[in-house]
Amino acid sequence: MKKAMIVMLLSALAVAGCEKVPLTGRKQLILVPNNDMLAMSFTQYKQFLDTSRVVSTSSGDAEMVTRVGNRVRQAVEQYMNANGFSKRLEGFQWEYHLVQSGQVNAWCMPGGKIVVYSGILPYTQNEAGLATVMAHEVSHAIAEHGNERMSEGLVANGLLQAGQLATGIGTSARSPQTQALFQQAFGVVGPLAYQFGVGLPHSRRQESEADHLGLIFMSMAGYDPNEAITFWTRMAKAGGGKAPAEFMSDHPSDQRRISDLQKLLPEAQKFYSGSRRNS
């Protein structure tokens, strides 16, 4: 498809499937029905767990992952329900698992399906560090970054017919092409070798947005937002200027990320104080 045509189609779609990201208010293109996103996500998540070394939920570290996950979840639900975004949480089936792996990584798929790799724990060091990571990943899901990437992919690949604009994308949502886009959008590689976070990197814009939302949500959950700065500084040092894994792909440079987070600290601090008053 010619570039001009894609631009035209994108602007038509921007009207048809335009949504606003919570907190930042950024407009985004969301075309894949939520039900389809969740169905694909739940299937992939289960397959991933079935073929991974999941740490027993009774271990101390796994308990910590669940505890932090629940606190972030409560903060997210409270905010979303109070601010007219409850539709984005429809069908969520939150789940948190710690997986034995050297990878310095974590992710959250649509519907609140979270995995933390044990390899990131030496970097998170404490609950607030882990909350930084988990709130960042949950924010990608809440902001529907995967759906946005797929939607842009559908358009760029010319997989949408004009008629589908009027009716939503309908039956094409579970077509092989759409499934392939899902796998691409979430970095699922190979039939069994699931490697999340190594496919298409999130765009810089999506990363900054997940940082922003993540900082606010961790604060609402009662974690000191200053710990996010400490965590990212630690990651920057460990990576020799470049942080590893999901935290490396196309993330804003560490210095830029840290200074962006510092600018958001006063806003986050208010939510943090609020959460402490309420507890």
Residues that bind Zn ion (CB under 5 A): 210
- Taking the least distance from each CB to Zn ion, the nearer of 133 and 169 is 133
- Taking the least distance from each CB to Zn ion, the nearer of 174 and 234 is 234
Sign, CA torsion 244/249/252/253: positive
- Taking the least distance from each CB to Zn ion, the nearer of 26 and 270 is 26
Structure tokens at 65: 């992952």
Q: Whose CA is closest to 107, among 70, 143, 133?
A: 133
- Taking the least distance from each CB to Zn ion, the nearer of 85 and 107 is 107
Torsion, Cα 85 91 94 95, to 10 degrees, reads -150
CB of 29 to Zn ion, least distance (A): 19
CB of 159 to Zn ion, least distance (A): 26
Structure tokens at 82: 């109070």
φ, ψ of residue 115 in degrees (nearest 5): -130, 135
CB of 109 to Zn ion, least distance (A): 13
CB of 143 to Zn ion, least distance (A): 10
Query: Whole-angstrom Cα distance, residue 201 to residue 203?
Result: 6
